[in-house]
């Protein structure tokens, strides 16, 4: 950090107010090696475990890291496609760099590469300024961020209502102390649908994520409702229950289902009609469902960029949006979406089940700065387990009573233990940290 920056910050702080900031700087010194404008010299990508990891390298000894979902190990060529666009740019001019690449992304999964690069740029900008990312985004409005279970799941032993009740009892006792739990039902849960003979009026299909859709039979609908009732009976009013439902429902089935469970006070119904890898949101159809029930309707995890949320927000087609920062275009893009949603009375509950540990860090900074329409983000875990041995900076435990405390280290505040991480690189990616 240049002296002018330190003087500027200290000039606005005095006495006791300056002490916490000074302590943070001493605990995490900036690693900048030069005094001139900072420039990007390289863009690298390695598949670590199954997560594509982005490293943006600079000429001043600072690297920034971003991450894509563990379900997308095929993304490396897409990440490297953007190298020629950003080398030579100042990474702290995040918006300028993003203008060069954001238009080359698309709906899930093809916005992930752009999103991971954006996170890495903010990581650099924060380190260069000696400030946490949330400070660069306007400062935090909350000191801790609520999470829901996401990657913390216990295996199902069957598909009856009793099995779902037993699973919720285990989730309720999880060490993270979740105050909100999400469970898959309906077309989002292939095992549940296969367990019901003739659950809907079509033949089961395979290939891709959640390929089935159609009109539910009376038997199928009753079974789903019974499983939801069993789960909510266990959770009571102590822990909220959200349902990941599709995509694949018809509008009429979605309305019938929502009305049937209205007395249960479900937190939201997610992706009933479209979602996941569906490259369109269908705002008009969602609006019909939303206006027909008191249960909050949620969607958005597959959508890329603010422009593609415009109809959902401005037509008030849903009650809750759930974009993923690793698909929507990054951290700042998510804040823009959250602010616009807030103006229209729409809530935010970001997706992120496979986002990895750098994704968790990005979500914490995002959650700290979002307006008061923010509910919680979907908590990702490190997979394989050795991810916790190669990443430094996360609190221990990460989640306490359903929340993560917002930390103050510069940038994203997490980084690699390079020695440990090198041992996990494939032969192809041996030069990732060089």
pLDDT in tens, 253-292: 999 999 999 999 999 999 999 999 999 999 999 999 999 9
What mean pLDDT, rounded, does the chain reach? Answer: 93
CA dihedral over 162, 163, 168, 173, signed as positive or negative: positive
Percentage helix, strand, coil, to 5, in the chain?
A: 40, 15, 45
Residues 6+ apart with CB under 8 A from 419: none
Please report, for residues 17, 84, 131, 188, the alpha-carbon distance to residue 124 in angstroms, rounded to integers and kept in the order given: 26, 19, 10, 37
Rg of the chain on CA atoms, in Å: 22
- Predicted confidence (pLDDT) per residue in 116-160, tens digit: 999 999 999 999 999 999 999 999 999 999 999 999 999 999 999
Q: 10 Å Cβ neighbour count for 378?
A: 25
The structure tokens listed for 288 are: 């019909």
Q: 10 Å Cβ neighbour count for 53?
A: 25
- pLDDT at residue 208, as a whole number: 85
Structural domains in the chain, sorted by start = 1-30 (no CATH), 40-135+421-429 (3.30.390.10), 138-410 (3.20.20.120)
* pTM of the complete model beyond 0.85: yes
- State mean pLDDT over 204-211: 90
- Predicted confidence (pLDDT) per residue in 331-354, tens digit: 999 999 999 999 999 999 999 999
- Predicted confidence (pLDDT) per residue in 36-57, tens digit: 799 999 999 999 999 999 999 9
């Amino acid at each position: 950090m240049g002296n002018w920056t330190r003087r500027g910050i200290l000039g606005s702080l005095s006495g006791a107010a300056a002490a916490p900031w000074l302590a943070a700087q001493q605990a995490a010194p900036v690693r900048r090696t030069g005094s001139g404008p900072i420039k990007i010299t390289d863009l690298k990508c390695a598949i670590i475990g199954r997560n594509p990891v982005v490293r943006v390298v600079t000429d001043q000894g600072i690297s920034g890291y971003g991450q894509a979902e563990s379900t997308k190990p095929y993304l490396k060529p897409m990440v490297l496609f953007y190298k020629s666009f950003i080398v030579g740019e100042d990474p702290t001019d995040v918006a300028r760099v993003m203008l060069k690449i954001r238009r080359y992304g698309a709906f899930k999964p093809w916005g992930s590469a752009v999103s991971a690069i954006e996170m890495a740029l903010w990581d650099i900008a924060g380190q260069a300024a000696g400030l946490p990312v949330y400070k660069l985004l306007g400062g935090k409005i909350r000191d801790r961020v609520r999470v829901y279970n996401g990657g913390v799941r216990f295996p199902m032993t069957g598909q009856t209502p009793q099995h779902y009740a037993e699973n919720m009892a285990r989730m309720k006792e999880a060490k993270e102390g979740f105050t909100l739990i999400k469970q898959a039902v309906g077309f989002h849960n292939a095992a549940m649908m296969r367990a019901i003979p003739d659950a809907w009026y079509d033949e089961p299909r395979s290939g891709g994520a959640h390929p089935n859709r159609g009109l539910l039979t009376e038997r199928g609908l009753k079974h789903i409702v019974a499983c939801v009732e069993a789960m909510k009976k266990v959770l009571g009013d102590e822990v909220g229950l959200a349902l990941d439902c599709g995509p694949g429902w018809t509008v009429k089935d979605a309305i019938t289902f929502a009305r049937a469970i209205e007395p249960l006070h479900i937190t939201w119904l997610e992706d009933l009609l479209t979602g996941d890898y569906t490259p369109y949101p269908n705002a008009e159809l969602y609006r019909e469902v939303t206006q027909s029930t008191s249960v909050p309707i949620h969607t958005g995890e597959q959508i890329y960029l603010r422009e593609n949320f415009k109809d959902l927000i401005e037509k008030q087609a849903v009650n809750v949006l759930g974009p993923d920062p690793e698909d929507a275009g990054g951290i700042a893009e998510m804040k823009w979406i959250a602010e616009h949603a807030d103006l229209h009375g729409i809530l935010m509950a970001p997706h992120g089940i496979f986002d990895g540990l750098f994704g968790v860090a990005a979500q914490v900074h995002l959650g700290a700065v979002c307006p008061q329409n923010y509910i919680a983000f979907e908590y990702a875990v490190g997979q394989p387990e050795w991810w916790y041995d190669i990443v430094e900076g996360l609190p221990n435990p990460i989640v306490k009573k359903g929340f993560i405390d917002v930390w103050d280290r510069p940038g994203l505040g997490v980084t690699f233990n390079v020695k440990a991480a090198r041992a996990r690189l494939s032969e192809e990616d041996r030069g990732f940290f060089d």
